[in-house]
Structure 1
Amino acid sequence: MTLVPVPRSLRPTQRAIAFAESLILQVCRAAPDPAYLKRLRTQFARQGIRAAVAQHDTPALFNWLVEVASYQGISDAIAWTFMEEHGRVTWADLHAAFARDPACPKLASFAAFCGCRYRKASRTCAHPEHFPGCPLPRHPLRKGSLNQAAYALYLFLKDGCRGDLVAWIDAQLAAADWPGAPDRAQRMREALLRPLAGVHGFGPKVASMALSDLLLGTDPKREHWLTTGAGLIVVDTLVHNWLHRTGILHRLDAEHAYGPACYQSGGCAEIIEAVASRIDARQFNPAFPAVFPRYLQKAIWAFCAENGLGICNGNRIDDSHSCADHTCCLSSNCHRIALRSAN
């Protein structure tokens, strides 16, 4: 197992990292999931995503990615029900729309699309003179931002990836790979996340969630994909709030509001990555990568989520006061910091 050096922003706090390691290891043992990769790969085989990767089927991968993006900001059940009732936007839908040569200059290319500013409720956009003939608002998606996300992703795949997402991923990872470098996984991760940051609706959380599953769940023979996917961390409110309540953020002098700061230097993602370099994930399944930040993040989420162990969340804890659950397996070490003290 190769240890990743503790990031510079966290180096003065080795004891705090050890504290975080102890708590996260306890969480991993409380909610073990040795079948995580097997379950993910079985699911993707059943959905046809593994075949889509093997065949470089970008339209099929687009359809899947757009659906993944549709789950953000709302419960999975509500998002799924809306899509079942109103339908999903597909590559074929957008291919047909662009075949009609829309007049709006925002639809000319991926670079031009920035600043579309479509609003579903007010039916406004950056070029209202083209609104009546624009195909973008015609798809009955849950909110206007998802319409923009679909069109931005389509244009990114056409322009930035030259129509082949799998080949683009392979090329990006190969160019960023420095064999033996301690920050190898980080370099490859950023080679994917930075370009995708320009795609409307695919911020760090959504992009990390989709890419991690895709890279881990489709082709076990692609070592670049496995290493990168293992390092992609999804920080939602459950994960962020747990890091706050336990005192990990406080001990690391890394307290911040939930949002973009979670992915910045010294934020939640970097903390989990630093701890992952100290916990050999093969103890949970010998087939796992030794350094597996995504697995640690999933364990924290499962510890908190209602459809996991449901132990540490706002439904169980009055966030205006310290947690009073002394039956929790973390109770002897957790700092029990009231969440609202961070606001």
Structure 2
Amino acid sequence: MTYSLFFFIRDVTGGNLVDWIDRSLAQASLGSAKNRAHRMRHALIEPLRNIYGVSDKVLNMTLADLLLAAPASKPLWRETGFGMIPIDTLVHNFLVRTGLTHRLGAEHTYGSACYSENGCADVIRKIARRIDARQFGDNYPQHFVRFVQHSLWRWCAQSELNVCNGNNIDDDSRCRNANCVLFRRCDRVPLRGQSELPRGTTI
């Protein structure tokens, strides 16, 4: 991976990764406002996929940290970073357990499909469009996709809020945590099978 990254920086970016990011985002930002954010993300992630052993999850996570830390003089960096979505099994399983992937017709297995059309990333973008993130931070954009993804991850991660994960929920059964604030609104879909769903239940 290290050698592959070295050759990418040498051969693709001309030895200047920062300048390459500037040029790629500037070019992708031109034209119609429709799908502009998608074009800018794609302009970075698609070429970087050629680095040996780097997954979409790692690319989105690393680029989000890098781009969001950019100074105000690089607004395209921050704009693109706002929309980077790393999907791990915690977030994917949360969307399955709550029934969101089913409700939105976005059922899929964990992996590259999470970043395909109507995958986990698209589901989170739909959620983010319904949340005004400015209430959580003065410098946040109105629709902050990365913030929503990170919040879902914190809700599930053992090292964070530790609510919705395999340590607390039997993957073969419906969640029984009635103290969860989402309990009455959650479909509580078992990850493996649906044998415990009450007859007539729609998920």
What is the TM-score when the length of structure 2 is the normalising length? 0.92
Q: CA deviation at 1:202?
A: 1.7
2:176 aligned to which of 302, 312, 324: 324
Q: CA deviation at 1:337?
A: 0.1
Find the counterpart in structure 1 of residue 199 from structure 2. Answer: none
1:206 aligned to which of 55, 58, 77: 58
Find the counterpart in structure 2 of residue 228 from structure 1. Answer: 80
CA–CA distance in structure 2, aligned partners of residues 341 and 197 of structure 1: 34
2:6 aligned to which of 154, 158, 161: 154
The structure with higher relative contact order (CA 8 Å, sep 6+) is 1
CA–CA distance in structure 2, aligned partners of residues 176 and 217 of structure 1: 20
CA–CA distance in structure 1, aligned partners of residues 41 and 144 of structure 2: 13
Find the counterpart in structure 2 of residue 240 from structure 1. Answer: 92
- Aligned-partner SS, 1:314: coil
1:296 aligned to which of 137, 148, 160: 148
Q: CA deviation at 1:186?
A: 0.9
2:119 aligned to which of 248, 256, 267: 267
Write out per-residue CA displacement over residues 11-60 of structure 1, whole angstroms, 9 at most, x where no aligned residue: xxxxxxxxxxxxxxxxxxxxxxxxxxxxxxxxxxxxxxxxxxxxxxxxxx
Once the two structures are aligned, what percentage of the paired residues are identical? 47
Equivalence map 1:1-343=2 (5 Å): 149-178=1-30, 181-341=33-193
Q: CA deviation at 1:252?
A: 1.1
CA–CA distance in structure 2, aligned partners of residues 261 and 231 of structure 1: 18
Write out per-residue CA displacement over residues 171-216 of structure 1, whole angstroms, 9 at most, x where no aligned residue: 0000000366132111100000010111112221111110010000
AA in 1 matched with 2:191: L
Q: CA deviation at 1:277?
A: 2.1
Q: CA deviation at 1:286?
A: 1.8
Find the counterpart in structure 2 of residue 95 from structure 1. Answer: none
- Aligned-partner SS, 2:78: helix
CA–CA distance in structure 2, aligned partners of residues 179 and 291 of structure 1: 21
AA in 2 matched with 1:175: Q
CA–CA distance in structure 2, aligned partners of residues 291 and 184 of structure 1: 14
Q: How many residues align?
A: 194
Write out per-residue CA displacement over residues 107-139 of structure 1, whole angstroms, 9 at most, x where no aligned residue: xxxxxxxxxxxxxxxxxxxxxxxxxxxxxxxxx
- Structure 1, unpaired ranges of 5+: 1-148
CA–CA distance in structure 1, aligned partners of residues 143 and 85 of structure 2: 12
- Aligned-partner SS, 1:339: coil
Find the counterpart in structure 1 of residue 197 from structure 2. Answer: none
CA–CA distance in structure 1, aligned partners of residues 68 and 46 of structure 2: 19
AA in 2 matched with 1:332: R
Q: CA RMSD in A?
A: 1.3
Whether the aligned pair in 1 keeps the contact of 2:95 and 2:101 (CA below 8 Å) is: yes
Structure 1 stretches of 4+ with a deviation exceeding 2 A read none
Whether the aligned pair in 2 keeps the contact of 1:196 and 1:203 (CA below 8 Å) is: no
CA–CA distance in structure 2, aligned partners of residues 341 and 192 of structure 1: 38
CA–CA distance in structure 2, aligned partners of residues 278 and 159 of structure 1: 42
Q: CA deviation at 1:274?
A: 2.1
Larger Rg: 1
